[in-house]
């Protein structure tokens, strides 16, 4: 059976691609299973430093596969909902110690926006559109609200959750759903720029800093200062911290920065009646 999710690793970056364009990369049972396996593999691979999540076709993800959610012929709901592993997948992305960049290849709807919000970075072409369309189907954006409401401005969340209205990429960036909205021709370069910057950070430091962004605002000032002073001292004396300081003083890349892969050159073709060395 053909997988609905492809993955490729190059230079410390694993790109995971939703590859089900026939149904606009809908979150079917099969796709969710394939996606969970790909994420587990990338997170567990020490050679992977950054994860990029993207899709094929004009739509990044259209949300739940409604054909699987429709009532069976007897009029009763299916026993196993399509979203059975969706919470685990969002938790995997949200809790990944490795930064995750969402490279939106196009439009996203409903459940697809849960994936977008779970990622640390989200870059989309400025032609993409978005909508929380659940209420128009008589359902609610329940599970995705766990990640989305941690990103969106509260007024904007109420506006788009309650109306189901379509909004553009510029507005998505304005309200916190996207990191950047860029011209389509700049999408790959922008994603590569962020991935390159992330590869320069220490793996342990990146994982810890991801948590700081989320937890420190919930601490009181006194507790925050006390806990962060302890963490700062710990990181300066850690092996990773010491290597980073030595690399800076010696004006060299730190040991965790991937070495550039040598460019492959095509062998010269011999001219008719001669050889390549002439």
In this prediction the pTM is 0.89
pLDDT for 274 equals 46
Contact 90, 109 (CB under 8 A): no
In angstroms, the CA 29 to CA 214 distance is 30
List of residues 6+ apart from 172 with CB closer than 8 A = 124, 128, 130, 178, 181
pLDDT for 278 equals 31
pLDDT (tens place) for every residue of the chain, 278 residues total? 789 999 999 999 999 999 999 999 999 999 999 999 999 999 999 999 999 999 999 999 999 998 887 666 555 555 444 445 899 999 999 999 999 999 999 999 999 999 999 999 999 999 999 999 999 999 999 999 999 999 999 999 999 999 999 999 999 999 999 999 999 999 999 999 999 999 999 999 999 999 999 999 999 999 999 999 999 999 999 999 999 999 999 999 999 998 866 555 555 554 544 443 33
Q: At which residue do the structure tokens 């969340």 appear?
A: 157
pLDDT for 36 equals 96
Measured CA distances, 54 to 16, 191, 208 (Å):
6, 11, 25
pLDDT for 45 equals 97
């Amino acid at each position: 059976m053909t997988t609905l999710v492809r993955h490729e690793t190059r230079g410390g970056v694993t790109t995971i691609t939703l590859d089900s364009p026939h149904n606009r990369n809908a979150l079917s049972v099969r796709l969710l299973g394939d996606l969970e396996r790909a994420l587990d593999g990338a997170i567990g691979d020490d050679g992977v430093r950054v994860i990029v999540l993207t899709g094929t076709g004009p739509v990044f993800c259209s949300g739940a596969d409604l054909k699987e959610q429709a009532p069976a012929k007897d009029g009763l709901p299916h026993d196993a909902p399509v979203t059975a592993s969706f919470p685990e997948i969002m938790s995997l992305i949200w809790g990944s110690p490795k930064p995750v960049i969402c490279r939106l290849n196009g439009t996203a709807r409903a459940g697809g926006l849960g994936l977008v919000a779970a990622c640390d970075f989200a870059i989309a072409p400025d032609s993409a559109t978005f909508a929380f369309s659940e209420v128009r189907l008589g359902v609610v954006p329940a599970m995705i609200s766990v990640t989305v409401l941690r990103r969106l401005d509260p007024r904007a969340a109420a506006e788009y959750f309650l109306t189901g209205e379509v909004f553009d990429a510029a507005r998505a960036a304005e309200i916190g759903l996207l990191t950047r909205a860029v011209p389509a021709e700049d999408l790959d370069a922008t994603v590569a720029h962020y991935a390159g910057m992330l590869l320069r950070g220490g793996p342990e430091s990146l994982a810890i800093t991801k948590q700081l962004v989320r937890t420190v605002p919930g601490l009181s000032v006194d507790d925050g200062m006390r806990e962060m002073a302890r963490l700062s001292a710990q990181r300066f004396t850690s092996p990773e911290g010491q290597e980073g300081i030595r690399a800076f003083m010696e004006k060299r890349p730190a040991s965790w920065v991937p070495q550039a892969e040598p460019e492959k050159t095509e062998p010269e073709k011999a001219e008719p009646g001669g050889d390549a060395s002439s």
